[in-house]
């Protein structure tokens, strides 16, 4: 019984091997009948164990799946085969099998077919007899691997193929022999899709029948899904149409999605099992993509269901892809989400086939449009890349305009396509349901085309930008060559004209006309020279442009234009200079002729009488005095003489000499005639004589003191040696003016030298740090630190060279304007030079770090030819800012006019303030350890070093030895610091010690023991700092500044009390306020602002006889002896009644608490006031 069943099984298997493609359906029906009979007889239960194992194999198993290494092949051997003895893999080398399978996998489809044909030839048995020597109905196969027989399962694994491939190869081999298989339909259709010929119009009829559809749904892995709907019409589609349809549907997803592979859903719930077999055979015969799984919804009929269960087991392994047979759509949902399935498959994915076709038509139309645009752009860019540029300006301009028009037209086509794509995108979004996979796919496709179009547009714009830039560069080059030719001819003509200008003129009028003609011609030449300079600049721009330019063409032309322009300018200047000299010569000759004529007229006058002789003598002396410029006539005419006027000059010189000699002789004769005896001079002694004797200093200084109008007027004769004569005063004024002029000249000349030196530093040192030829000498410590080394010297250079020097040059003739230059620029001076001076220590430190690598600085110094190193030149700005005030002092010294002196004094004060601010800012930056914000303390008013004695009630200690402190006085605070000696780079350091608010201090102006001392104390003298200045002048300056700050604070407080002051209208004498901001709260620390006896209280009886200018700050602990020396006003009289202007909280038993508005009576005034409530 077993042998008969095996024989039947073999017959069924052999029947499958000779199925022809055209008879597939009929053979399948026969197979189905046989399988049905097996089901009825339940013969399948008696099948051998190996066959059962084969039928029950895991459907995921794929014999063509390659292993990663030989170890995995060994694991497959351990799994075994499906034959009964399981001996097929024994004795095989896993490493050899692994390499064998890899080699087969690398074969092409045609090569693999030929290989399988050769293997199959060795596997065919005798076609005439069976094993029992009976006649066979069909061929029986034996499976052989390298001379040993193996089972089908082992053979498929070892040869890396599927059962379906083996059957097809054997069928082809029996029918056609070893002739290669040709897949003409597949190749032709593949060629169509690769050439882009297959579009929706080519498969429109196939799409309408819905043989297969792609809804846009995806699996959980992201693979596209193609559905074969259960329409009962799939058998009507031919193989060619099926291939066209599959080629089109697989081209719908993106390349990335197609590379992932496809999942197929074959819905045959209302159809027969033979239709399932037909679909699977067609899919296996041709599918242009990778198929992972085919989900088959099997027929729902009872008989069809039974047939499908057996047929599935028989045919499931015949395909390269997995086939999963599903009983219902519920099982399908286990593999694919409902959101990715249409309603026909129990899903939620909306899908309209007609809308999908409409969207595909629109999408492909847009794609075709973008393709046409891309082809047009490629043609345009290829043509532009191959074109040669013209050699003249007109042709180049015409070509540029033509290509610009073509570019604009193509650009408009791109924009039109983009607008069409945007409209299509909006249409797709509106026509398709929101969130559907089809909508998302179409939207993604349109967006992808729009992105490609945008990228094409960007590439096209970049190409046109580069090409048009090259074309414009060519046009500029052709224009440069044309302009050069025109200018060369014009300038040569100008040179010839200048060479022909040789006339110098014989009269002053003719010379003036020649000057006007030459000046007019110079303006014409100047225009052409300016045009030549523009052409040279254009040539330099061509050389420096990003596009390659023929250097040997442009550079010689630029050099030639520069040479011709220089020659033309020099010859014109020389011509004008010659004419100017001739005009000066004519003027001098005319003056000489006039002078000689006047001399001859005087020599001809009669001098018979004494008055006439006296008059002639006077006129001759005036004539000789007026001819001082002719004292050395040859030197006068030597600079103006030219060869053409040499003879005329000789005649004039001879005439001047003759007239001069005659005039001198005549003057001597006339003086001899007019000699008279000297008249006595009577000396008058001034009365009273005593003041003159007792005031020698006044007489010596040349000043005259006038008494009251009641005294009689007296004439005073000059005292020899004691006062200057009236004649000497103009000379002194003239000398002062000359000195003032010298100072102004020195100011401008030194400013020019200063600017030049700054420029040499920047060009010779700073710019050389980026010069490629000097980088190898640059120390590593200097790289990227030019701003540290040079500070803001470049900004200083620009200010002086572009602004300040020009201001001085424009104002050099007016001292007041020069002074105004300094006043207006003081803020810029302070900003620039304070930053530069603050950077000096950093610069010095950097130079010390590189002192062992001086090659770069030495090389720069040698190139500049400087005798001094860089450090000396970096001190130039500091030297210059201190030089200004010295020059201004000299100007002020030699200036006598009052307005001028006022302006100069203001300029001098400004520069002194700038110096002080620069110095203060340098000191301020050296403060260390201060935790607050220095900028919040207001303006820095003063700073200096002092000896300080500090005492505090808390410490109860008396410090006998003073501390040396450097004090900084700000508007809002005093900061005490300890000065440390500079260790390097000449930079002092100030360590913060104490901080006092100006709103909390009191001032004692004079302290016993030393007139240089003053006190700063807190309320109640809880903390007292006795400060000793270096001189009385320094002390007075500090006291004055501190009093000014305190007075400004008092003014602010009085501003808050305007209402109370308006009611009282009393003279302010003393004011004490609480430490809180007048809130009536007396708790907390208190503040006392204390003034002298005239500012304690408001006197009731005396009404506003003094102003706030009478108020001077002092302390209640002042020494009365010292106060008398500084007090200008008598103190308030005892017994007077006063009004308190503010609240005061008593500190100790010796003080009185008062409120604002309290009436007080002054009982006694002994250094301090003794008062009581009235």
Q: Over range 1066-1095, report the average pLDDT.
A: 36
Say whether domain 484-581 belongs to CATH 1.20.58.60: yes
Comparing 300 with 563, the larger pLDDT belongs to 563
Please, are residues 996 and 984 in contact by the beta-carbon 8 Å criterion?
A: no
Question: What pLDDT score does 439 carry?
Answer: 56
Confidence of residue 263 (pLDDT cuts 50, 70, 90): very high
Cα distances (Å, whole numbers) of residue 1000 to 102, 798, 1089: 96, 46, 8
Closest C-alpha to 226, from 305, 150, 292: 292
The pLDDT of residue 669: 82
- Tokens 């967006």 belong to 447
Q: How confident is the model at residue 793 (pLDDT cuts 50, 70, 90)?
A: very high
Q: What is the pLDDT of residues 159-183, one digit of tens each?
A: 888 887 787 777 777 776 655 555 4
On whether the CB atoms of residues 1028 and 1012 are closer than 8 A, the answer is: yes
Burial (CB count within 10 angstroms: exposed 0-12, middle 13-18, buried 19+), residue 1151: middle
The confidence score (pLDDT) of residue 293 equals 92
Give the three-class secondary structure for 898.
helix
Edge-to-edge strand ranges of the sheet holding 1159-1166: 1067-1068, 1098-1099, 1137-1139, 1159-1166, 1168-1173
N-terminal to C-terminal alpha carbon distance within the chain? 147
- Minimal CA–CA distance to 155: which of 29, 66, 265, 64? 64
Q: How far apart are CA 298 and CA 777, in angstroms?
A: 87
Q: What is the pLDDT of residues 355-388, one digit of tens each?
A: 888 888 888 888 888 888 888 888 888 888 888 8
Cα-based torsion angle of the residue sequence 104, 108, 113, 115 in order, rounded to the nearest 10 degrees:
-40
Which tokens is 803 given? 């602004």
Q: What does residue 139 show for φ and ψ, rounded to 5 degrees?
A: -75, 145
Tens digit of pLDDT for each residue in 964-1004?
A: 999 999 888 999 999 887 665 556 788 898 899 988 899 99
User: What are residue 323's DSSP bridge partners?
Assistant: 294
Alpha carbons 1046 and 224: distance in angstroms, whole number: 88
Most confident of 298-312, 709-723, 968-982: 968-982
> Could you give the residue ranges of the DSSP H alpha helices within 2-136?
2-17, 24-41, 49-55, 70-79, 94-105, 109-121
- At the fourth CATH level, the homologous superfamily of domain 732-906 is Dbl homology (DH) domain (1.20.900.10)
Q: Rounded distance, CA 60 to CA 292, Å?
A: 10
The beta strands (E) that lie in 631-728 are given as none
**Which residue has better confidence, 348 or 718?**
348
Whole-number pLDDT of residue 965: 92
Give percent above pLDDT 70 in the chain. 70
Q: What is the mean pLDDT of the chain?
A: 74
Kindly state the average pLDDT of the residues 828-835: 88
Q: How far apart are CA 273 and CA 28, in angstroms?
A: 9
Q: Strand, coil or helix: what is 1047?
A: helix
pLDDT classification of 755: cutoffs 50, 70, 90:
very high
Provide, for the chain, the percentages of residues in helix, strand and coil under a 3-state DSSP scheme, each rounded to the nearest 5: 60, 10, 30
Q: 461 or 812: which carries more pLDDT confidence?
A: 461
Whether pTM > 0.75 for this model: the answer is no
Nearest Cα neighbor of 325 from 250, 246, 260, 269 is 269
Average pLDDT estimate for 198-207: 83
Report the residue count for the chain.
1174
In the structure, what pLDDT confidence band is assigned to residue 224 with cuts at 50, 70 and 90? very high
pLDDT at 1039: 93
Q: What mean pLDDT comes out for the span 103-109? A: 76
Of 542, 388, 401, 564, the closest CA to residue 485 belongs to: 564
Contact between 156 and 63 under an 8 Å Cβ cutoff? The reply is yes
Please give the average per-residue pLDDT across 90-111, as a whole number: 81
Q: Which residues pair with 940 in a beta bridge?
A: 970
Question: 93-107, 291-305, 414-428, 460-474: which range is least confident on average?
Answer: 291-305
Q: What is the largest CA-CA distance in the chain?
A: 188
Note the pLDDT tens digit of each residue in 115-146. 777 777 656 544 444 444 444 444 445 678 87
Place of tokens 């009886």: 1101
- Alpha carbon 1056 to its chain's center: 50
Q: Which of 659, 640, 664 is nearest to 593 (CA)?
A: 659
The DSSP 8-state label assigned to residue 554 in this structure reads H
CB 873 within 8 A of CB 757: yes
Q: Which CATH architecture has domain 926-1047?
A: Roll (2.30)
917/904 Cα distance (integer angstroms): 20
Distance CA 614, CA 606 (A): 11
Q: Is 929 left (phi over 0), alpha (psi -120 to 50) or beta?
A: left
d(CA 891, CA 575): 41
pLDDT at 581 over 80: yes
Name the class of domain 188-349: alpha beta
On the CB side of 107, CA atoms within 13 Å amount to 17
Host H or E run for residue 1169: strand 1168-1173
Distance CA 638, CA 804 (A): 39
DSSP state of 1108: G
Looking at residue 701, its pLDDT comes to: 35
Q: Are 1155 and 1143 in contact (CB under 8 A)?
A: yes
Looking at residue 312, its pLDDT comes to: 53
Q: For residues 1134 and 947, which has the higher predicted lDDT (pLDDT)?
A: 947
Mean pLDDT of 1013-1038: 90
Give me the mean pLDDT over the 894-921 stretch.
82
Give the 3-state DSSP-derived string for 1083-1103, with helices as H, strands as E and coil as C: CCCCCCCCECHHHCCEECCCC
Task: Yes or no: say if 143 and 195 are a contact pair by the CB < 8 Å rule.
Answer: no
Q: Is the pLDDT of residue 37 over 60?
A: no
Please state, in angstroms and as integers, the Cα–Cα distance from residue 464 to each residue in 374, 403, 415, 549, following that order.
15, 9, 16, 20
Q: Using pLDDT thresholds of 50, 70 and 90, give the confidence band for residue 799.
A: very high
For residue 995, the SS3 value is strand
pLDDT at site 911: 86
Percent over 90 (pLDDT), the chain? 11
179-193, 465-479, 831-845: least confident range: 179-193
According to DSSP, the residues that pair with 927 across neighbouring strands are: 990
Contact 494, 528 (CB under 8 A): yes
H or E element: which one contains 978? strand 973-980
Q: What is the mean pLDDT of residues 17-32?
A: 38
Strands (E), 298-343: 322-326
**The pLDDT of residue 524:** 92
Instruction: Report the alpha-carbon distance of residue 555 to residue 558 in Å, rounded.
Output: 5
Q: Which pLDDT score is estimated for 1062? A: 46
- Partners of 284 in beta bridges: none
Q: In the predicted model, what is the mean pLDDT of residues 213-233?
A: 89
| Sole residue written with tokens 């009235």 | 1174
Looking at per-residue pLDDT, the higher value among 1103 and 86 belongs to 86
pLDDT over 50 at 190, yes or no: no
Residue 146 Rama label (left phi>0; alpha psi -120 to 50; beta): left
Decide: helix, strand or coil at residue 996: strand
Per DSSP, 970 falls in state E
- The encoded tokens of residue 405 equal 């028009």
What would the two tokens of residue 496 be?
Answer: 């010839």
Please count the helices (runs of H) and the strands (runs of E) in the chain: 38, 20
136, burial (CB in 10 Å: exposed 0-12, middle 13-18, buried 19+): middle
| pLDDT recorded at residue 1065 | 45
User: Are the CB atoms for 231 and 210 separated by under 8 Å?
Assistant: yes
Distance between CA 1003 and CA 850 in Å, rounded? 51
Phi-psi region of 225 (alpha: psi -120 to 50; beta: other; left: phi over 0): beta
Predicted confidence (pLDDT) at residue 570 exceeds the cutoff of 60: yes
Closest CA to 794 of 826, 823, 769: 769
Q: Is the pLDDT of residue 296 over 70?
A: yes
State the Cα–Cα distance between residues 341 and 220, nearest whole angstrom: 12
Domain 356-477 belongs in CATH node 1.20.58.60: yes
* Lookup: tokens for 366: 């847009």
Q: What is the spatial distance between Cα 1105 and Cα 133, in angstroms, rounded to a whole number?
A: 157
What pLDDT score was predicted for residue 405? 92
**Cβ contacts of 587 within 8 Å, gap of 6 or more:** 508
Rounded to an integer, the average pLDDT of 901-914 is 87
Among 730-734, 746-750, 919-923, 946-950, whose mean pLDDT is lowest?
Answer: 730-734
């Amino acid at each position: 019984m077993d042998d008969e069943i095996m024989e039947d099984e073999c017959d069924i298997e052999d029947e499958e091997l000779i199925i022809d493609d055209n008879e597939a359906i009929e053979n399948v029906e026969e197979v189905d009948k046989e399988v049905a009979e097996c089901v009825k007889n339940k013969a399948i239960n008696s099948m051998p164990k190996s066959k059962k194992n084969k039928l029950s194999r895991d459907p995921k198993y794929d014999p063509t799946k390659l292993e990663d290494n030989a170890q995995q092949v060994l694991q497959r051997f351990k799994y075994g085969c499906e034959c009964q003895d399981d001996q097929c893999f024994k004795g095989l080398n896993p490493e050899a099998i692994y390499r064998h399978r890899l080699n087969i996998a690398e074969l092409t489809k045609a090569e693999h077919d030929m290989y399988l044909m050769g293997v199959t030839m060795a596997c065919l048995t005798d076609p005439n007899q069976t094993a029992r020597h009976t006649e066979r109905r069909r061929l029986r196969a034996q499976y052989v691997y390298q001379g040993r027989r193996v089972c089908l399962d082992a053979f498929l694994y070892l040869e890396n193929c599927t059962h379906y491939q083996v059957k097809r190869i054997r069928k082809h081999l029996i029918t056609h022999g070893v002739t290669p298989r040709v897949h003409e339909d597949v190749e032709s259709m593949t060629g169509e899709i690769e050439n882009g010929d297959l579009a929706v119009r080519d498969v429109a009829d196939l799409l309408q029948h819905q043989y297969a559809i792609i809804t846009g749904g995806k699996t959980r892995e992201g693979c596209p899904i193609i559905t074969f709907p259960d329409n009962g019409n799939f058998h009507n589609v031919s193989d060619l149409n099926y291939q066209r349809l599959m080629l089109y549907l697989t081209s719908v997803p993106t390349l990335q999605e197609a590379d992932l592979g496809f999942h197929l859903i074959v819905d045959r719930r209302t159809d027969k099992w033979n239709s399932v077999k037909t679909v699977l055979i067609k899919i296996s015969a041709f599918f242009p993509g990778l198929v992972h799984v085919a989900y088959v919804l099997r027929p729902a009929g009872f008989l069809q269901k039974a047939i499908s269960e057996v047929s599935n087991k028989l045919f499931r392994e015949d395909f390269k892809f997995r086939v999963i047979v599903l009983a219902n759509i519920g099982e399908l949902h286990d593999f694919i989400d409902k959101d990715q399935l249409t309603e026909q498959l129990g899903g939620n994915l909306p899908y309209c086939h007609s809308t999908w076709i409409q969207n595909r038509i629109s999408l492909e139309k847009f794609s075709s449009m973008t393709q046409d645009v891309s082809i047009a752009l490629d043609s345009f860019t290829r043509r532009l890349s191959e074109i040669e540029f013209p050699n003249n300006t007109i042709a180049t301009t015409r070509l540029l305009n033509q290509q610009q028009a073509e570019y604009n037209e193509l650009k408009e086509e791109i924009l039109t396509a983009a607008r069409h794509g945007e409209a299509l995108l909006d249409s797709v979004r509106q026509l398709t349901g929101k969130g559907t996979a089809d909508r998302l796919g179409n939207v993604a496709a349109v967006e992808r085309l729009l992105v490609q179009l945008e990228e094409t547009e960007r590439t096209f714009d970049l190409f046109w930008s580069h090409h048009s830039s090259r074309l414009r560069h060519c046009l500029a080059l052709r224009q440069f060559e044309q302009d050069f030719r025109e200018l060369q001819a014009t300038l040569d003509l100008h040179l010839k004209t200048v060479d022909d200008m040789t006339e110098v003129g014989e009269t002053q009028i003719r010379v003036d006309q020649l000057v006007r003609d030459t000046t007019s011609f110079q303006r014409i030449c100047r225009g052409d020279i300016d045009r030549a300079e523009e052409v040279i600049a254009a040539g330099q721009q061509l050389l420096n442009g990003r596009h390659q330019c023929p250097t040997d063409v442009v550079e010689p032309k630029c050099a030639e234009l520069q040479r011709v322009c220089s020659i033309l300018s020099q010859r014109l200047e020389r011509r004008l200079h010659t004419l100017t000299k001739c005009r000066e010569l004519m003027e001098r000759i005319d003056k000489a002729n006039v002078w000689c004529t006047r001399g001859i007229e005087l020599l001809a006058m009669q001098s018979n009488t004494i008055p006439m002789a006296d008059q002639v003598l006077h006129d001759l002396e005036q004539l000789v005095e007026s001819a001082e410029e002719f004292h050395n006539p040859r030197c006068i005419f030597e600079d103006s003489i030219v060869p053409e006027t040499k003879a005329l000059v000789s005649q004039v010189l001879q005439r001047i000499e003759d007239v001069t000699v005659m005039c001198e002789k005549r003057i001597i004769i006339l003086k001899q005639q007019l000699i008279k005896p000297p008249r006595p001079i009577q000396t008058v002694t001034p009365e009273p004589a005593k003041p003159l004797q007792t005031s020698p200093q006044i007489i010596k200084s040349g000043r005259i003191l006038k008494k009251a109008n009641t005294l009689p007027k007296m004439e005073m004769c000059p005292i020899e040696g004691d006062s200057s004569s009236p004649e000497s005063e103009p000379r002194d004024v003239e000398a002062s003016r000359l000195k003032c002029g010298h100072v102004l000249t020195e100011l401008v000349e030194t400013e020019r030298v200063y600017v030049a030196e700054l420029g040499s530093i920047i060009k010779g040192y700073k710019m050389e740090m980026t010069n490629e030829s000097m980088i190898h000498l640059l120390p590593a410590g200097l790289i990227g630190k030019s701003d540290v080394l040079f500070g803001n010297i470049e900004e200083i250079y620009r200010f002086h060279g572009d602004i300040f020097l020009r201001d001085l040059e424009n104002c050099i003739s007016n001292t007041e304007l020069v002074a105004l230059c300094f006043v207006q620029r003081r803020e810029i001076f302070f900003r620039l030079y304070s930053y530069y001076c603050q950077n000096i220590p950093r610069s010095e430190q950097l130079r010390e770090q590189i002192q062992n690598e001086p090659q770069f600085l030495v090389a720069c110094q040698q190139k500049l030819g400087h005798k001094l190193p860089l450090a000396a030149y970096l001190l130039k700005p500091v030297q210059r800012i201190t030089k200004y005030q010295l020059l201004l002092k000299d100007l002020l010294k030699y200036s006598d006019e009052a307005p001028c002196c006022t302006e100069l004094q203001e300029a001098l004060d400004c520069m002194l303030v700038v110096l002080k601010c620069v110095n203060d800012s340098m000191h301020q930056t050296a403060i260390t350890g201060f935790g607050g914000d220095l900028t919040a303390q207001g303006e820095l008013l003063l700073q200096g070093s002092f000896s300080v004695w500090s005492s505090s009630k808390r410490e109860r200690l008396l410090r006998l030895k003073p501390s040396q402190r450097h004090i900084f006085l700000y508007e809002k605070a005093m900061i005490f610091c300890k000065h440390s000696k500079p260790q390097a780079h000449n930079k002092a350091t100030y360590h913060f010690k104490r901080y006092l608010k100006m709103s909390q201090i009191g001032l004692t102006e004079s302290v016993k023991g030393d007139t240089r001392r003053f006190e700063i104390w807190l309320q109640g003298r809880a903390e007292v700092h006795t400060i000793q200045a270096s001189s009385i002048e320094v002390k007075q300056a500090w006291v004055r500044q501190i009093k000014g700050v305190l007075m400004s604070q008092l003014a602010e407080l009085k501003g808050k009390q305007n209402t109370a002051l308006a009611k009282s209208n009393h003279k302010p004498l003393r004011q004490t306020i609480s430490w809180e901001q007048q809130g009536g709260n007396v708790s907390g620390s208190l503040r006392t602002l204390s003034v002298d006896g005239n500012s304690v209280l408001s006197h009731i009886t005396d009404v506003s006889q003094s102003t706030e200018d009478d108020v001077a700050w002092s302390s209640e602990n002042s020494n009365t002896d010292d106060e008398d020396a500084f007090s200008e006003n008598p103190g308030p009289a005892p017994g007077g009644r006063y009004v308190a202007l503010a609240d005061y909280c008593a500190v100790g038993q010796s003080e009185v608490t008062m409120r604002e508005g309290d009436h007080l009576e002054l009982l006694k005034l002994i250094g301090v006031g003794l008062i009581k409530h009235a």
